[in-house]
Chain A
């Protein structure tokens, strides 16, 4: 979600089950069948009220689990419907979590290790060597 987050940034997520998502929250979601999760902001929330049963007279209250959301990247002119693979809204079960905080660049360590496996072995080897040499 540039320009807020870039590749390599570390995001802190929460996903409390009984709490609704607010508009403006940044979610991480994964559509079934899609390879990678997407980080985009919530632009629409629809708190669907469950169908009233004939007998109950109480007003039905929306269940956070039934909430529908629509997302958009901050810098995109249009919403994400094209990314939803036929869905009109995201359902709660597609949402992995809500971004609460963030730490830049830290993820590059993992990215670098994955891109250059030699680096991983070099690091492990180096650490092992240090452990041997620096015996108290």
Chain B
């Protein structure tokens, strides 16, 4: 009985490799600013970006999809040369109906740097990525959209 169950689970896990959907969406920056703010009782520069995000990720929902974790990342190098990748927005999608994403993405997690400043940082690229989590089997990752490099804007006052 248990070996039969195991074989079935393995078959389901392997079957999800047959679904090779690679959906693409659009990520457009509508507003990107840098301001002074206090985070964790330390005043520093924070980057706040707002996006228009449209993506049809319904093709990722198949019979072995438990949930989809979608997230917007920022990638840049700071003045030390440290390569930084930071999640600035995320969402858990549990139903296929919710996988048709069309949102104005608010700044959810402010972008921060270990130097507390974005001075002399490279331009930043934003990307929409997803992680498909199955009922059983391997986790898979993908990228649905990516913006052009966007230089950090000059600082505008206090938050």
Which A residues lie at the B interface, using CB under 8 A? 3-4, 22-24, 26, 41, 43-49, 59-60, 62, 68, 72, 74-75, 79, 81, 99-104
Query: Shortest 4 CB-CB distances between A and B: which pairs?
Result: A47-B83, A101-B138, A49-B81, A43-B87
A98 to B137, CA, bound (A): 14
Closest to A11 in B: B139
A62 to B9, CA, bound (A): 40
B87 touches A75 (CB 8 A): no
Nearest CB on A from B39, distance (A): 10
A-B contact pairs, 28 of them (CB 8 A): A3-B67, A4-B69, A4-B92, A23-B73, A24-B69, A24-B71, A24-B73, A24-B129, A43-B87, A43-B109, A44-B86, A44-B87, A45-B84, A45-B85, A46-B83, A47-B83, A47-B84, A48-B82, A49-B80, A49-B82, A59-B81, A100-B138, A100-B139, A101-B138, A101-B139, A102-B133, A102-B134, A103-B136
A-B contacts at CB below 8 angstroms, number:
78
Given A3-B67, A41-B69, A44-B87, check contact A104 B82 (CB 8 Å).
no
Report A-chain residues with C-beta under 8 Å of the C-beta of B9: 103
A23 touches B13 (CB 8 A): no
A26 to B133, CA, bound (A): 11
A4 touches B133 (CB 8 A): yes
Of B67, B69, B81, most A-chain CB atoms within 10 Å: B81
Interface of B is mostly: strand
Closest to B113 in A: A46
Closest to B10 in A: A103
Closest to B84 in A: A46
We find that the number of chain B residues with CB closer than 8 angstroms to chain A is 31
Report B-chain residues with C-beta under 8 Å of the C-beta of A81: 40
B131 touches A3 (CB 8 A): no
Given A23-B87, A48-B82, check contact A75 B92 (CB 8 Å).
yes
A81 to B39, CA, bound (A): 12
Closest to A59 in B: B81
Closest to A99 in B: B139
Given A101-B139, A102-B136, check contact A43 B86 (CB 8 Å).
yes
A64 to B86, CA, bound (A): 17
Report A-chain residues with C-beta under 8 Å of the C-beta of B94: 3
A23 touches B86 (CB 8 A): yes
The answer, yes or no, to whether B114 is at the interface (CB within 8 Å) is: yes
B136 touches A26 (CB 8 A): no
The answer, yes or no, to whether B36 is at the interface (CB within 8 Å) is: no
A23 to B72, CA, bound (A): 10
Selected contact of A74 from candidates B69, B81, B109, B135, CB within 8 Å: B69
